[in-house]
Structure 1
């Protein structure tokens, strides 16, 4: 039986149980229940106070609401993902794999914001002040007027933040904080939920923007209860493939901006460098394009991005051929292979198939179907696409090539980077600044690749 005032809390989802069990009934995880004193028993009511409360006042939708002001940090890619800057009074949760550069990014953000006149505080629960100062010196931000502190007690942090008015506060990280109101250890579900709630309330009351760093689990999810993601105004993820210097900042949730924007950075010896033109970065060096390569004209957020799809189709040495994909959805690859076999006559049943998105970028658009199919067909047929050709379009199960959104913006970006033609859906030819090889069926696109039927001046 649990002690008085104690309950068993799942460390995976935060569900509270009256007694211990090997498996959490809420999320199904095993061996995640930990006894915590002070946690509310399931079904118990919250304690009440006999105090006089104000009446609830309603307002109408017709009232004018001014646009929330923004704090421009000076890091344009970070401001872009946040919706044009950081909103005072907002709470932002930033997650990412260990070593991806979360602390480096936030040091750059707070340093640049402080140099622009904002009053910034950086509170580290993982490093000493000397370590944070050393990183700032390496990044060339030693003269930035940033207020540094190393503390893990949320009570001491709140007292310090209440004594002065800050514009931006960085907490690195939320899993290291602890509250003396709970007996659970730092990093537990109870502590993370309580500390995050206190900091979010401070952000709303003092009109200060708070950025919380969150660790991630092996599944890539932010550690701790999901209620933390509901409490904050924005959830950002900082991604990067090992072996690549590129880092991508994405917004999974944003109450003050779009959730499909990305910010691209390049990691260097002196910190992160903003990449204003990701297309030139992901395409790499020029030169003759080999068979199995196709340049995809995609859209990430509000801007077009060109990236290269690389495919390799090789005879299989085993009874079961391999299907390996990096940077794209494996289920989507299986669908494209099935359409190529059933609608276009290509055979992949006895071949290994490898598909890679160059540069470590992950593509989630259905518009990449035609680029992946063109790369696979080019490799299987040993027929390279023209050097100056971009490809985009969605493929249906019937083999139809469908139009996608913002086709004109995709083609304009390709023209700006020196591409001379496009393999695209029929609707793209109406307002295209480039010559378009329009295809309505996937079989027609494969026939053009096999027979090298391209406009003059666009030879492979």
Structure 2
């Protein structure tokens, strides 16, 4: 019998150590080094068995390989199909992550119910009982009048955490789509560490990937998210799967964003917008209109930014509020933007524009629970803060696009045509953008373009002047 060895593995980043450490030397987290057993190769149960991709590879000329584009499995939810790149690719493995209670299981069960209308679907749950999942499925199928819908015949359900047993079920059912909820609850008996450990997650994801590649079955895996906001074992999972999707949003808000951060079969950074309701995830075909529905026109501190989520332009409302502070260090409180970006913009407003923000608390909020990371929203943030401080409203039909530099200059941003077309489609009459360096680039018609070289010029164009 080979000798059984132990090692200590960080449950956040996967760093291994031969001895116990209080703090991980790689990611710096405390108490994350957990003891795990190293399973000898002979005890893994795979010796001599040509499992998955092993023993099946054979070098071939590239010109001999069929390169036809494989048809995707259609999805009725167009927002989901947009994020995946047009549909589900057979033989792919997709990882879906998100905060607890954000709606991952609801979204995947809703997709499984819709896909089961035409194909076999196996839904594996290691967190809920069969009765709980059946009750949720009935709620998703219930229409607005309270009448129950018909349950599809091709939807199979099993509550199991043993991956070997799950693989046996897939051979019996032979589904087109497999959903595993979640990867942290699945374990392999040959590995002696507990379910959810790095070793279990790594090996389980590898076995599921081999299942998808060899059988042509599409596999969706739900993953837990750590307190830092990343999928548990990120270096382990995200490199194994083909597509990584994050379901984002404030759990106290109704809007949810399904974001693609990795996709081998489509564009990355693509976004689908949903609204969480009693009957499940409802698609939002025009998210810009939904985000602006409750906007209070002509209110000081409110501005409209045009941000890009993948290839989709979104118009969102940015709210700024300044209030006199009694503290030595006034607060800078952002909700939906990076705090370092807010600190930079307040410094530019104070130093370049002469606004006295050193004695003011500054609050910035992105309406709808969105989070903006691109610098194209800098101008809208700065105008919202200046509007609140001066108590002057921003023009109601004006959109703001541009990056703000440390000298107070405005810088050009990408995909300006798509941003302006989206603003014109929603009825905005004008937009303030950075001054173009190349006049040969045409801008879309239907919206008045106001070009500004500096933040000072943009504030003059954006703010409504007081009537004397």
Shared fold, TM over 0.5: yes
1:44 alignment partner in structure 2: none
| Partner SS, residue 458 of structure 2 | helix
What do you get for the CA RMSD once the two structures are aligned? 2.5
1:15 alignment partner in structure 2: 15
- Contact 1:309–1:357 (CA<8 Å) still a contact in 2? yes
| Structure 1 residue 441 displacement after superposition | 1.0
What does the per-residue CA deviation read over 1:1-28, in whole Å, with 9 as the maximum and x for residues that have no partner?
Answer: xx73332222222233223233333333
**What TM-score comes out, normalization by structure 2 length?**
0.89
1:71 alignment partner in structure 2: 73
| Partner SS, residue 423 of structure 1 | strand
- Contact 1:8–1:17 (CA<8 Å) still a contact in 2? yes
Give yes or no for the alignment of 1:29 onto 2:41.
Answer: no
How far apart, CA to CA, are the structure 1 residues paired with 2:377 and 2:40?
A: 49
1:404 alignment partner in structure 2: 413
- Contact 1:312–1:354 (CA<8 Å) still a contact in 2? yes
| Structure 1 residue 49 displacement after superposition | 7.3
**What TM-score comes out, normalization by structure 1 length?**
0.91
Matches within 5 A, 1:110-129: 110-115=112-117, 117-129=118-130
Aligned pair in 2 of structure 1 residues 374, 197: CA closer, same or farther (>3 Å)? same
| Partner SS, residue 116 of structure 2 | helix
| Partner SS, residue 308 of structure 1 | strand
| Partner SS, residue 226 of structure 1 | helix
Aligned pair in 2 of structure 1 residues 229, 388: CA closer, same or farther (>3 Å)? same
Aligned pair in 2 of structure 1 residues 313, 156: CA closer, same or farther (>3 Å)? same
- Contact 2:11–2:232 (CA<8 Å) still a contact in 1? no
Moved more, 260-269 or 52-61: 52-61
How far apart, CA to CA, are the structure 1 residues paired with 2:387 and 2:226?
A: 39
How far apart, CA to CA, are the structure 2 residues paired with 1:239 and 1:148?
A: 27
What does the per-residue CA deviation read over 1:122-169, in whole Å, with 9 as the maximum and x for residues that have no partner?
Answer: 111111111111101001165223111111110000011123432111
- Contact 1:119–1:166 (CA<8 Å) still a contact in 2? yes
Give yes or no for the alignment of 1:95 onto 2:104.
Answer: no
| Structure 1 residue 32 displacement after superposition | 2.4
2:165 alignment partner in structure 1: 156
- Name the count of aligned residue pairs: 446
Aligned pair in 2 of structure 1 residues 251, 10: CA closer, same or farther (>3 Å)? same
| Partner SS, residue 433 of structure 2 | strand
Aligned pair in 2 of structure 1 residues 63, 210: CA closer, same or farther (>3 Å)? closer
1:138 alignment partner in structure 2: 139
1:371 alignment partner in structure 2: 380
2:400 alignment partner in structure 1: 391
How far apart, CA to CA, are the structure 2 residues paired with 1:125 and 1:49?
A: 30
Moved more, 334-343 or 320-329: 334-343
- Contact 2:101–2:251 (CA<8 Å) still a contact in 1? no
| Structure 1 residue 378 displacement after superposition | 0.9
How far apart, CA to CA, are the structure 2 residues paired with 1:365 and 1:14?
A: 30
| Partner SS, residue 249 of structure 1 | strand
| Structure 1 residue 54 displacement after superposition | 7.9
Matches within 5 A, 1:422-433: 422-427=431-436, 430-433=442-445
Select 1:226's aligned residue among 223, 228, 235: 235
| Structure 1 residue 121 displacement after superposition | 0.9
How far apart, CA to CA, are the structure 2 residues paired with 1:64 and 1:425?
A: 49
**Can you give the 5+ residue segments of structure 1 that lack an aligned partner in the other structure?**
42-46, 454-458
| Partner SS, residue 21 of structure 1 | coil
Aligned pair in 2 of structure 1 residues 371, 225: CA closer, same or farther (>3 Å)? closer
- Contact 1:295–1:307 (CA<8 Å) still a contact in 2? yes
Give yes or no for the alignment of 1:180 onto 2:192.
Answer: no
**Can you give the 5+ residue segments of structure 2 that lack an aligned partner in the other structure?**
142-148
| Structure 1 residue 184 displacement after superposition | 1.1
| Structure 1 residue 232 displacement after superposition | 0.4
| Partner SS, residue 239 of structure 2 | helix
- Contact 2:20–2:33 (CA<8 Å) still a contact in 1? yes
Provide runs of 4+ in structure 1 moved above 6 Å: 47-55, 61-64
Give yes or no for the alignment of 1:442 onto 2:455.
Answer: yes
Aligned pair in 2 of structure 1 residues 161, 62: CA closer, same or farther (>3 Å)? closer
How far apart, CA to CA, are the structure 2 residues paired with 1:24 and 1:320?
A: 34
Matches within 5 A, 1:18-417: 18-39=18-39, 57=59, 59-60=61-62, 65-115=67-117, 117-140=118-141, 142-145=150-153, 146-224=155-233, 226-285=235-294, 287-417=296-426
What does the per-residue CA deviation read over 1:350-407, in whole Å, with 9 as the maximum and x for residues that have no partner?
Answer: 1110000011111112111111111111111111111111111111222221222222
- Contact 2:271–2:312 (CA<8 Å) still a contact in 1? no
